[in-house]
Structures are given as C-alpha cells and as structure tokens.
Amino acid sequence: MKAGVVFEVGKPPVYSEFKEPIPGDGEVCVTVTASALTHFTKVRASGKHYSFPAQAPFVVGIDGVGRLDDGRRVYFLYPRSPFGGMAQKTVVRSSQCIPIPDGIDDVTLAAIADPGMSAWVALEVRAKLAQGETVLVNGATGSAGGMAVQIAKHLGARKVIATGRNQEALNALLALGADVVLPLVNDSDALEAAFKEQFSQGIDIVLDYLWGPSAERLLAAIAQGGKGTVPLRFIQIGTASGPTITLPGTWLRSSATQIMGSGIGSVALEDITSVMSKLIEAASTAGFQIATKATPLYRIGEVWSMESVTPRIVFTMSSLEMPAGNG
C-alpha cells in the first residue's frame, strides 16, 4: 500500500510502499480517506515526543477518518505502530474508533479533530469549565487557538478573551465567538497592564498555547490583578513561544492560581476518546470553522517541513497516482 513512511528517525517521511496491516485481537482495519498534518504529528514523527519511542521504519499520522470493512465511517485515534494515519490503510483498536454522523465531511473533521480535542479536553477534563465562566485563550490566532475560542463558547463560557500577534487574525475571531481580543505587543509593561485590566474584571480559566514571555506576563498579571482567593485554572497546552519561563514563587503565593498541563500523560486515553465522541457529535451541527487545504498524500515530502499549519493541511487518499514530474 502507499503511505508516508519515515525510514530514518529525524528525517521527513517519504511517499512509499509499506506493508499492509493485519488486525489482531480487538483491532480493526481502517481504509483511510483523510489525515491531518499537525504539530503533534510532526514532533512524534521526529522521535522527540515523550509519548512515542520512534523506531523506523514507521508510517506517520496519529489519527484520521476512514471506513471500516463493513462500510461504516469512523474517526480513528492512535493506530498500532508501525502503522499510522497517513496511509491507504491502518490498524487500530476498535475502542479507538468513533462513528461519524452525517453533517460533516471527512476533510473538515480530520482538520478539526486534533485541535478540537485538545481544547475540549483542557476545558472539560482539566479545567472543569462551568457555565458562565470567562476563558482567556493565549495564542488564539492559530488553528488550535481558534478552535479553543469556538469550543469554549460552545461549552458555555460567558466571555472569551483571545490573544495573538496577528491583528487581522484576531479581528476574525470576533465572528467566531471571541468577546475581547488583545494583541500581544512587544512592550511587556503595556501587555501586562492590558492583562491586569482583564483579570480585574474576572477570569476563571487560561488556556495557554504559547508559554514563553506572554505566559510570564499573564502569570504576573494574575498575581497582581486577580480577584483574591478565587481559584484561577491556568492550563498549559503548547510551547510555541518558548519551552521555559521564569516563575517567581511570590506569584503563586499571592494568588489562588492552579497551574496544570493538558496532554498525553495528564489525561487518560479513555477521557480523550470520550471527548472525541462529544466533539464529533457537536462538529456535525455546531458549525465549527477551521481553514483547511486538502492535499494528495503523494505531496507529503513536499509540504511536511512547511512552518505554517494555517490553513490546516489534510492529506487525502482519493488520488494516489503521482503526476509526471513529481517522482
């Protein structure tokens, strides 16, 4: 079968032949139609993620959409290594396949799945969002942050505050559910002052996709401008702006901040699967929006190293014949 295969850990995958999977006990074979390229997928494929001991050769892709042998359309998550989502076929435990209702196409669902799951898990499982609370999404102008804004509103947030560097992208979030947008300006004092103003009005949850300098300013503002002993849940999801921060102990002692991570290791697979079922059901009716670009799988080597994930690239298996000049 055709697949995106890593033959040497640390190097990009190539479009190649790979052995077809044979399901074992409790597993099913999925004929794949779509699988999205995400930052998480790329980090796992590089062998640099704690959740995946990469051993080449292996097929890349942590999830996707496809059909079971009986024709049912499903979303699947975490195929058995060395198989992956970016292939004609994959193999996965039946408990990690979720039926897809009508109302959403394969490419859109594949694009929504990873960022939507990340936001939903952070809000429901880790932060335990209650109706009427206020959520700040730090780093909302990417695909994941944009989904977080929409899902926070869908789950009952009264007010959503979005931060980011791209003013045009920030303004677009106002139509997707953001009530306030804050540009991440380079002036750290001005940024901290803007954060303090919002915290003085009350914020219950921060979803942080950036870490780095903006997270420092957020935590400083919480310590100085938060509402006393009311617990604020700070959920760390991504490190797009830097892997570390400076965190003085006084910032924690002077506030009721609860800092926790959200991801593999802090959330059980059963909870992730449960959330995905809810997300898929909602996606067919809620009108979640995400910019996508359907791309034939044979272009995997060409687009793998692209820095931008907006629009979200979704590899499709509908056309597997490489045109002349692409081999």
- Tell me: the pLDDT tens digits for 309-318? 578 999 999 7
Beta bridge partners of residue 36, listed in sequence order: 314
pTM, two decimal places: 0.90
- What is the DSSP pairing of strand 27-36 with strand 312-316? antiparallel
The Cα 183–Cα 84 span in angstroms is 38
What values do phi and psi take at 243, rounded to 5? Answer: -80, -15
- Collect all residues with Cβ–Cβ distance below 8 Å to 105 and sequence separation of at least 6: none
Does the pLDDT at position 49 exceed 80? Answer: no
**Per-residue pLDDT averaged across 63-85, rounded?**
96
* CATH 3.40.50.1000, domain 126-261, yes or no: no
Q: What is the C-alpha separation between 42 and 115, in angstroms, rounded?
A: 14
Domains of the chain by residue range: 2-100+291-316, 126-261
* pLDDT tens, residue by residue, 281-317: 999 888 899 999 999 999 999 999 876 657 899 999 9
pLDDT at 70 over 90: yes
pLDDT, residue 293, reads: 93
Mean pLDDT calculated for residue range 111-136: 96
Rounded to whole angstroms, the Cα distance separating 123 from 43 reads: 23
| Per-residue pLDDT at 323 | 56
Q: Is the pLDDT of residue 263 over 90?
A: no
Tell me the one-letter amino acid at 86.
M
Question: What pLDDT score does 264 carry?
Answer: 82
State the amino acid at position 244 in one-letter form: T
Decide: 184 and 191 in contact? Cβ < 8 Å.
yes
Residue-wise pLDDT tens digits, 193-240: 899 899 888 999 999 999 999 999 999 988 886 555 568 999 999 998
Residue type, 289: Q
Q: What is the pLDDT of residue 265?
A: 84
Structure tokens given for 131: 């109706």
* More confident: 230 or 141: 141
pLDDT value, residue 79: 96
CB under 8 Å, gap of 24 or more: what pairs does 20-27 form?
Answer: 20/89, 21/79, 21/80, 21/83, 21/89, 21/90, 21/91, 22/91, 23/91, 24/80, 24/91, 26/93, 26/94, 26/95, 27/80, 27/91, 27/92, 27/93, 27/94
* CA separation for the pair 208, 262 (Å, rounded): 10
Is it true that domain 2-100+291-316 has CATH number 1.10.150.120?
Answer: no
